[in-house]
Amino acid sequence: MSFQPTSELEAEVSELISHYPVKRAASLMVLHAIQEQFGWISSDAVQWTAKKLELQPINVFEILTFYPMLRQEPQGKYAIKVCRTLSCALGGAYELHQHFCAKLGLDAHKHGPQTTKDGKFTVEFVECLASCGTAPVMMVGEKFYEGVSHQKADEIVGGCQ
Amino acid sequence: MAQEYKLILKHADAPGYTPDIECYLRQGGYDALKKALAIQPKDLADGKKLSGPEQIREDVKVSGLRGRGGAGFSCGLKWSFVDRKSGKPIYLICNADESEPGTFKDRQIIHKDPHQLIEGMIISCFANDVKLAYIYIRGEMPEGAKILNQALKEARAKNFLGKNILGTGYDLEMHVHRGAGAYICGEETGLIESLEGKRPYPRIKPPYFPAILGLWMCPTIVNNVETLCNVKHIVTMGGAEFAKLGTPNNTGTRIVSLSGHVKRPGYYEIEVGKATLRELLYDKNFGGGLRDGRQLKAIIPGGSSSKVLKAGEKFKLKKKDAEGKEILVETDMLDLPYDFDSLAQAGTMSGSSAIIVMDDSVDIVKALANLSEFYAHESCGQCTPCREGSLWMNKTLQRLTHGEGRASDADYLGKIADNIPGGRTICAFGEACSWPVQSFLAKFKDEFVAKGAADEDRRAKEVSAPEQKQLEAAHH
């Protein structure tokens, strides 16, 4: 299976490349654009990106493997990120993460992102999301939630259809 | 009583204030840019002429503005290091990779008042002959990136950006670049590598000082969001007037991010040094005090990397007496004025102006384990002392918080922490991951030793799980 970019993605990538005097600089933004459309970045997508930016695939791959937000495999339809770092931990982030895992049948002690069997949710315990005054905070996809009580967490999950 | 002083956040939380350009223009937005662009060359006594951009750069020096990202370095000085004779283009990057745990001030500016940042950037670019600039925003702020892109579009439509800005002949383009979840991108040379499309491995200095060999080996300025916003106000008020805000050598305002165990966590803008830690924690217009029935245990005063302050700690602060003679005054940690220099005198820093408050319910070993997990996750892996050291510290702290500790772990941790910083690593992450460990141990060592000793004691009396199983089977 080869990578099939949509015409929108082609246009977006051309626009992104135009932002830099050196094509390579667009690589992170191009990977973001691919992930936004497809949910993850396949090795075919890496090859395609490398060709677009006149790079070796390894130049793209080394970025993909470094940045925590970039995915090498599909994730759930709803990506839940719970902030783990100190201020949120003081505000109950561990309990919140545990709550999500228990509710969705995942193991709170496992490292890294975990996806439910039905592929609907991915839960990840992430580092500081920079909203420490409203702890605990979390994201679902691009949406941001603050001061998340367990009740609010249930409502958020309930709202994911 | 200490008060908030809203310069940067003057409009952000005002009722009805929106992030669009029309709203910004109604509040006098882009007037500072117009003023900056119109500055006429000034004749100097020696017959030389000072151009408009040169005058702005001088004024930023006069203002005493210090970087709001963490290091607190003079902005005017940073700009003066830029190699203007290389013949290469000069770039400016706004560091919006706000990711120092405890910090959430740039988020407010970006989400609520993006044009203030963009105006500050345009002026800074004009002052430094920059034709192409980037805003490097952390990946976890997708909404912020969208707001900034929209704001850039609006600014372009009004010709505050693009070709021949407001008919002055000055061209400037600006783009948003998103990170993807790596703390190390906040380090300016790591950020530059990341922008270039590489792994964000920080560069060694010398020779790679951004002011000389930065983005694409061209002179580059990297400034924090709040710092760049301040440039707009320096142009509006004049550097000398700006310098009257705050305290000597600690001028202007700072947005303090207050989190943890206070009744009113949040962001508070103050004149630098015009409020003490006590006021920030306890005054009703700031933190409002600790939760009922709780006592203060510790404060991390300037983002997670800054050295912890223990409740009741005393420091000798340099002060001037009535005759102007320098004297040392014993000061409780809570009475430290919240500025750059007082906190440095107390052996820590105001860093990114993020205060994390911990009351007596906190397990201090667990708190440090939390931070060490962060640093172990975020070390870029380039330098051995940092890559291995941050992991060892985390592993040791995880065993201490999971019942597997040893009484000697405290000394072991200290040994690792002491062998990471001090020129053994390319960037300051080595310091950043060691300082919490060193300071927690210096101030709370007994708790680490007690925890490890208790674990050893418990394990000595324990029957192993497989043996327990066999015993139970035998008893049946």
Q: Is residue A95 part of a domain?
A: yes
| Residue carrying the six token digits 């500790």 | B405
Split at pLDDT 50, 70, 90, the class of A161 is confident
Quick check: B181 and A32 CB within 8 A? Answer: no
Exposed e or buried b per residue across B389-406, where buried means at least 16 C-beta atoms within 10 angstroms of its C-beta: bbbbbbebbebbbeeebb
Both A50 and A85 in one domain: the answer is no
Say if A139 falls within a structural domain: yes
Same-domain pairing of A22 and A93: no
Kindly report the number of other CB atoms within 10 A of residue B6's CB atom.
Answer: 16
Is residue A142 domain-resident? Answer: yes
Q: Is residue A39 part of a domain?
A: yes
Q: Give the closest residue to B299 by CA, choosing from B363, B354, B366.
A: B354
Has residue A124 been placed in a domain?
yes
Nearest by CB to B260, which of A27, A59, A90? A90
Q: Is residue A72 part of a domain?
A: no
List, as one string, the DSSP characters of B347-369: TS--TTSEEEEEETT--HHHHHH
Q: Domain containing A133 — which CATH number? A: 3.40.30.10
Closest chain A C-alpha to B359 CA, distance in angstroms: 10
- Per residue in A30-49, pLDDT tens? 999 999 999 999 999 999 99
ipTM of predicted assembly, 2 dp: 0.97
Note whether residue A1 is domain-resident. Answer: no
Q: Domain range spanning residue A120?
A: 78-158
Percent with pLDDT over 70 in chain B? 100
Choose, out of B143, B153, B215, B259, the residue to mutate when testing the contact with A (most A CBs < 10 Å): B259
CA distance B23 to B17: 7
Asked whether residue A58 falls in the same domain as residue A111, the answer is no
Q: Is A29 found in the same domain as A91?
A: no
Q: Are B120 and B151 in contact (CB under 8 A)?
A: no
CB spacing of B180 vs A29 below 8 angstroms:
no
- The alpha helices in chain A, defined as continuous H runs, are 7-17, 27-38, 43-52, 57-64, 86-90, 93-104, 150-158
The two tokens of residue B320 are 């001037």
DSSP 8-state assignment for residue B337: B
* pLDDT computed for residue B324 by the predictor: 86
Mean pLDDT of B163-185: 97
- How many whole angstroms separate alpha carbon B395 and alpha carbon B416? 12
Instruction: Using the 3D structure, point to which of A38, A64, A90 is the last residue of a domain.
Output: A64
Q: What is the mean pLDDT of residues B1-24?
A: 95
Average pLDDT over chain A reads 95
**Chain A partners within 8 Å of B107 (Cβ):** 130-131
Q: In the beta sheet, which residues pair with residue B94?
A: B135, B223
A82 and A53 in a single domain? The answer is no
* Whole-angstrom distance, CA of residue A108 vs CA of residue A58: 34
Is A83 in CB contact (< 8 Å) with chain B?
A: no
CA dist B414 and B441 (Å) reads: 7
Using the predicted structure, report yes or no on whether residue A1 has a pLDDT greater than 60: no
Domain count for chain A, please give it.
2
Do A144 and A85 share a structural domain? Answer: yes
**pLDDT-based confidence at B476, cuts 50/70/90?**
confident
Tens-place pLDDT, residues B66-109: 999 999 999 999 999 999 999 999 999 999 999 999 999 999 99
pLDDT in tens, A46-72: 999 999 999 999 999 999 999 999 999
Over range B401-406, report the average pLDDT.
95
What is the residue-averaged pLDDT of chain B? 96
Do A148 and A88 fall into the same domain? yes
Residues A27 and A58 occupy one common structural domain: yes
| A58 interfaces chain B, CB cutoff of 8 Å | no
Q: Residue A95: its chain B contacts at CB < 8 A?
A: none
Spatial neighbors of B432 by CB under 8 A, at least 6 apart, are B305, B375
Check A130 against B261: CB less than 8 A apart.
no
- Cα torsion A137, A141, A142, A145 to 10°: value is -20
Q: For residue B374, what pLDDT is reported?
A: 97
Residue B217 contacts A, CB cutoff 8 Å: no
Which of B200, B254, B237 has the alpha carbon at shortest distance from B69? B254
Q: Is B162 left (phi over 0), alpha (psi -120 to 50) or beta?
A: left
Tell whether A99 and A45 lie within a shared domain: no
Give yes or no for residue B393 having a pLDDT over 80: yes
CA distance A109 to B403: 16
User: pLDDT class for B19, splitting at 50, 70, 90?
Assistant: very high
Is residue A152 a part of any domain in this protein?
Answer: yes
- The domains found in chain B, sorted by start residue, are 21-242 (3.40.50.11540), 252-359 (3.10.20.600), 364-460 (1.20.1440.230)
Centroid of chain to Cα B99: 8
pLDDT digits (tens, 9 = 90+) for B106-142: 999 999 999 999 999 999 999 999 999 999 999 999 9
* pLDDT category of residue B320 using cuts at 50, 70 and 90: confident
Residues A28 and A95 in one domain: no
Residues A13, A60 share a domain:
yes
* Nearest-neighbour CA in chain A from B260: distance (Å): 5
Residues 6+ apart with CB under 8 A from B331: B314, B315, B316, B317, B346
Question: Do A105 and A146 sit in the same domain of this protein?
Answer: yes
Interface check for B73 against chain A (CB to CB < 8 A): the answer is no
